[in-house]
Structure 1
Amino acid sequence: MASGQQGPNAPGAAADPAVAVTAGSSGRESAAAKALDPCLRQLAEISAGKGRWGAGDLGSLREVAAAAAGRGAPLTALITEYLDSACRVWADLPDACREESVEGLAAVASAHLRAVADATVALTEGYETAFRAAIRGEEATRREFVDDLLEGRTNLGRLAERAERFGLRLLGPHTVAVARAANLFGAGDPATRYVEEALITRFSVRDVLTTTKDGLLVCVSSGEGTDVCEAFATAVGNAVGDQYQVAISRPRRGPGGIVRSHQEARSTLDLAVQLSLPARVVHASDVLVFQVLGRDRAAITDLVATVLGGLEQARGGPQPLLDTLTAYFASGCLNTATARRLGMSVRTIAYRLSRIRQLTGHDPTDPDQRYILQTAALGARLLDWPSHPLQSAD
């Protein structure tokens, strides 16, 4: 110490504890240290006066912590800086505090420790509140981007710029997979986190985007292959068990292609449910014929009524003969394979096919007439006929 200067513990030193803290804290250049300096002066006064923080003082500490969170400073660094400074405050308390009785000194120490504890809690609360707010803001921004991406609600150029922030490249083809489970998927729930972590572990974050929408789990992957989508389906199965179904779109290019692929995947998933398809993973390319038929409901209704309407005259209704017709086409139009599939005799299958020819006027064994019957049978599945009566387009 330079000659003629008085230290905080020297005879005649200023009794104001804030002077001691200012002297003890000089030379510290960190943003956290500078922001904490006023709080440390207040801590010195509280300790010397055996008082407590006021509500406004604690609010100021929370603001300091919130500012630190905004700068990206770790909470541990902030608390460490404060506790180190609190130790210096104690060491720099005026001699008057140390010359008190044992009881008085104990009261000073108690006030100091209590103030340090309260300040630590306030700093932690302020930091965590600001951090949670930042996370919610980031989640809201990501949700807005995802909605715009999947629904095509914004300028494509602007969308591509925003995609870079989330590590997604919109150039080239993309494939979309959509999963439905017994329980709705939600952002941040265990099943969603499991699938996200499984994909991130295996693939680059620039090649895959996983999100939730309307209770479904959506995966957007770059490239024309389905490796990511297949891994997505496997992860979904591991996360939720047996009660799930995944639909995978065909790959399309650009941000607009993602919108179309998302729509196709969702419509494929709805179609799989409507047709009671048993497969866990359904590719859009495998159900294109149903999508084509479904685009003109009036026409397919008329086709089913015209071609298969006669089956309603059958004893027991049209369903047994329609099931036989569906199994016959699925078995390659082979009576033996159809009988095996349905657990019936070959004679029974032959009789039913003959009965279908009599009631509809179309012979399923005739290659020229087979296509009409098969298309009508597909339309019946799409319309859920005969469980639901056909609605006339007139």
Structure 2
Amino acid sequence: MEPEHVLQGAIDQMTEHLDEIAALVIARSAERIPAYHRLPTSVLEGDLVANAKDLIGLFLRSIKEGRTPSEEELQQPVAWGAERARDGLPLDAVLRIYPIGVREAWAYAAEHALPPQDPEIVAFVDHLLALLGSVQPLVAAAYLREQQELAWEKREGRQNLVARLLEGLPADRLAARVGTRLADQYAVVAYRLPDLQRGATATVRAIQSALDEQPEVMWTFDHDLGILLVPDASQVPDVLGRVDTAAGAGTTRLAAAAIAAIAADIPRARREAVDLLQLAERLNRPAGLFWLPDLAIEYQLSQPGPARDYLAGLIAPLAGHPHLVDALRAFVATGYNRAEAAEALTIHRNTLNYRLGRIHTITGHDPTHPTAAGTLAAALIAHDLSPSLQ
């Protein structure tokens, strides 16, 4: 029989017995790889057997068609490897299953599908595959360990570098030692981490991994605050987007930033960013990124002094009339638009006009007059920022 006919016949016979071969591969893997003992029987006899069947089938089809599998065809087998990582299997265990699969497929072909072979040749091929199955996972695991150690050393060095920069200490020599080129200036960003009561470690690691993909960005954590040093201020939204994605859908992120024109200015910029973040939180601002120009008036009014006390005092007489305070808030929030404010409060416009008139009577400032309206808007902010009035 012609060699191509022999091969074709072997492929056809193995294709007919794919279920048997796949089950044998997984059974042998479970016997020889201790880590697979941790997997549920439903996974071993279900998902893994199905995966093995598909992969061996792909291998046989590619031989029959005289080609190698395409990248698109290999996407699913690669995804299966990632699933094993989520199952908690170490890399060497994941890699060992492939040589075992090849050995079992070869053993089946030699015994059932191919013409009788020289026993020494069969044993030789089996030993080659066994060697590959032993060496490959060990080398990969050793390489991964070394890579992880190097990555940890670099990350630790960068964390020390960030700490020195935030403290205003000289950092040029340390930056050179960890292979980091310091930028001429940085946007210092402060953001609040999501609630980490559940899955805290996984969430923090996900954020770390996402930020590690941008080596020019330096980062650290300070309790429930994240601090970023971003060389290009225009990239801050993109970096925060990565943080949002890593933290998981549904998280609400509020952030604030300030520019440090030189390295020595980083501590001041950090204080400003943290102050802005806390200010935005106290004022219940929506999620987003805030710079000083976004909160300049609020920032100034947050500083204690007689002016803030005076402004906060203007709202004090309304303390017993929460519906009037709500009316003033809605009027200011809608840009002094009576129709929109009334709609936001779900009241008639005439009712709003009456309440605005009451505010004028009680405070002595007419919220419908441009100058007085600005004063009352500032007074609301001062009231919200005065601890004694909370």
TM-score by length of 2: 0.55
Q: Structure 1: which amino acid aligns with 2:219?
A: T
Counterpart amino acid of residue 351 in structure 2: T
Per-residue deviation, residues 171-216 of structure 1 (Å, max 9, x unmatched): 422112222233359xx94334433444454x4x23x113222232
Structure ranking higher in helix proportion? 2
Instruction: Determine if the alignment matches structure 1 residue 224 to structure 2 residue 233.
Output: yes
Alignment of 1:257-268 (within 5 A): 257-268=265-276
2-structure distance, mates of 1:377, 1:258: 32
* From 330, 334, 339, the counterpart of 1:331: 334
Gaps of 5+ in 2: 1-91, 93-137
Residues of 2 paired with 1:216 and 1:364: CA distance?
Answer: 38
After superposition, the Cα gap between the structure-2 partners of 1:298 and 1:163, relative to the gap in structure 1 and judged at 3 Å, is farther
Moved more, 371-380 or 272-281: 272-281
Report the counterpart of residue 104 of structure 1 in structure 2: none
Q: What is the Cα deviation at residue 360 of structure 1?
A: 0.3
Instruction: Supply the distance in 2 between the matched residues of 1:262 and 1:175 (Cα, whole angstroms).
Output: 9
CA root-mean-square deviation: 3.4
Q: Secondary structure at the match of 1:308?
A: helix
Deviation readout 1:210-262 (Å, 9 max, x if unpaired): 3222232222111232xx32122222222223333231313231112322222
In the alignment, structure 1 residue 181 sits paired with structure 2 residue 200 = no
Q: Distance in 1 between matches of 2:212 and 2:274?
A: 23
SS in 2 for 1:250: strand
User: Could you list the runs of 5+ residues in structure 1 that have no partner in the other structure?
Assistant: 1-75, 77-120, 389-394
CA gap of 1:342–1:266, structure 2 versus 1, over 3 A, is same
- Whether contact under 8 Å (1:247, 1:282) holds in the other structure is yes
Question: Which one-letter code corresponds to 2:324 in the other structure?
Answer: L
State whether structure 2 residue 161 is matched by structure 1 residue 145.
yes
- In the TM superposition, what is the alpha-carbon distance from 1:384 to its structure 2 partner? 6.2
Equivalenced residue count is 249
Post-superposition offset of 1:355: 0.3
Please state whether the residue corresponding to 1:172 is helix, strand or coil.
coil
246, 249, 254: which is aligned to 1:239? 246
3-state DSSP class of the match of 1:218?
Answer: strand
Is 1:344 paired with 2:356?
Answer: no
Secondary structure, aligned partner of 1:162: helix
**2:286 corresponds to which residue?**
278
- Deviation for aligned residue 1:379: 0.8
Matches within 5 A, 1:106-125: none
1:2-21 equivalence runs, <5 A: none
Distance 1:264 1:161, change over 3 A: same
Residue aligned with 1:340, SS? helix
After superposition, give the CA deviation of every residue in 1:55-81 in whole Å (9 maximum; x if it has no partner): xxxxxxxxxxxxxxxxxxxxx9xxxxx
Aligned residues: percent identity? 26
Q: Which residue of 2 aligns with 1:360?
A: 363
Residue 331 (structure 1) shift? 1.2
Inter-CA distance 232–218: structure 2 relative to 1 (3 Å threshold) = same
Q: Which amino acid aligns with 2:276?
A: T
